[in-house]
Amino acid sequence: MQTALARADIDEVLESEVFIDVSRLRKCARHGIPDELRGEVWKYLLGVEKSDRSNELTQRRARHAAYQEIDKENADVSKRVRGEASRYLQRTRKEGLLDPHTAPGTFEAVICAYLNCNNHVDYSPALVQMCAPFVITMKSECDVYSCFERLVDTLAESSQAANINKRVAQFLSYFRTLLPELYTYFEEEELDIGEWAASWLRHLLAKELPTACVLALWDVYFALPDFIDFHPFVCLAILRHLKDSLEDLEQSEIRSMLLRLPKLDIQRIVGQAFNIRSELQARYGSVGTRRISH
């Protein structure tokens, strides 16, 4: 029933011929976006499509033309992208979300195009996981590229070495305050906390969560103006949710679970994350905000 209501609300917004009410889309997205509408909604939430539809076709043609002009050949990267895409497809094949025949080419074209336009960015296998939700949700390769570019650019500053180190340190401080017993247990098990924490924070859990959970989580993130700053509280909520299970495991098993998380109720986790943010704000004061630029 709730899904049907969400679909009806989103359909009503998207059917407007003059202006897309992005604020209303954000409210809808916070509760989850139906699979068949996700790609269209994400484009508005990320600012790839503009709310004013008066010049929509002209802007869309210009964006597609600009994408066609980008060089998508990169001999140094292509083989690695295809290899990582193949591993991703193999790992997620039971989910049946991607066409194994066409998806590798899309990954290769989009990621090579992005790297060719951003020479300062080094290839990382995580780019495939970050790109996958867009390949899953969008039919147009150009739309995949535009949304992937917007997200990676938004994350770029916070993912720089100095900034990620600060974010990890801040996260570990929150972790130690919120879950002291689990933090101590990780230390006793000599777990490399920095290893998994950096990956969790840097890649929005795209590498660690099951794909369906990533899609549901990003529905919420793209609806928020400060999702980069909110993300650590989601990570803390996951740790709190898994605390009892993690405390029954040994080092190698803990590491395996943290790097391949089980299926989670994302709406529940997000609700806990808001509560945790309020709890920590009461102790630490303001945690700051960072807005996605459109």
Mark whether 150 and 167 lie in a shared domain: no
Q: Is 27 helix (H, G, I), strand (E, B) or coil?
A: helix
Mark whether 19 and 113 lie in a shared domain: no
pLDDT tens-digit map of 187-208: 999 999 888 999 999 999 999 9
Identity (one letter) of the amino acid at 174? Y
The whole-angstrom separation of Cα 271 and Cα 139 is: 31
The CATH number of residue 10's host domain is 1.10.10
Q: Answer yes or no: is 62 within a domain.
A: no
Contacts of 156 (CB under 8 A, 6+ apart): 121
Contacts of 55 (CB under 8 A, 6+ apart): none
Domain that holds residue 26: 2-54
pLDDT band at 265 (very low <50, low <70, confident <90, very high): very high
pLDDT tens-digit map of 96-128: 899 999 999 999 999 999 999 999 899 999 999
Residue given tokens 């509408």 in the structure block: 37
Mark whether 48 and 96 lie in a shared domain: no
Mark whether 243 and 273 lie in a shared domain: yes
Average pLDDT, the chain: 92
SS (H, E, C) 235-291: HHHHHHHHHHHHCCCCHHHHHHHHHCCCCCCHHHHHHHHHHHHHHHHHHHCCCCCCC
Token pair, residue 2, equals 């709730």
Mark whether 230 and 264 lie in a shared domain: yes
Mark whether 150 and 246 lie in a shared domain: no
- Within its chain, how far is the Cα of 246 from the centroid? 24
pLDDT tens-digit map of 7-57: 889 999 999 989 999 999 999 999 999 999 999 999 999 999 999 998 989
Identity (one letter) of the amino acid at 44? Y
For 86-145, the DSSP string reads HHHHHHTGGG--S-TTTHHHHHHHHHHHHHHH-TTSPP-THHHHHHHHHHHH-S-HHHHH
Query: What pLDDT is attached to residue 292?
Result: 40
Q: How many domains does the chain have?
A: 3
Instruction: Decide if 258 contacts 239 (C-beta within 8 A).
Output: no
- Answer yes or no: is pLDDT of 179 > 60: yes
Query: What pLDDT is attached to residue 228?
Result: 93
Phi, psi of 250 (to 5 degrees): -100, 175
Q: Name the residue with higher pLDDT: 2 or 254.
A: 254
The whole-angstrom separation of Cα 263 and Cα 266 is: 9
pLDDT tens-digit map of 203-237: 999 999 999 999 999 999 999 988 999 999 999 99
Mark whether 94 and 40 lie in a shared domain: no
Mark whether 171 and 279 lie in a shared domain: yes
Residue given tokens 């739309």 in the structure block: 143
Mark whether 185 and 276 lie in a shared domain: yes
Q: Answer yes or no: is 194 within a domain.
A: yes
Cβ neighbour number for residue 21 with a 10 Å cutoff = 15
Query: What pLDDT is attached to residue 230?
Result: 96
Phi, psi of 99 (to 5 degrees): -80, 115
Mark whether 251 and 139 lie in a shared domain: no
pLDDT tens-digit map of 270-279: 999 999 999 9
Mark whether 118 and 214 lie in a shared domain: no
Mark whether 81 and 148 lie in a shared domain: yes
Q: Answer yes or no: is 104 within a domain.
A: yes
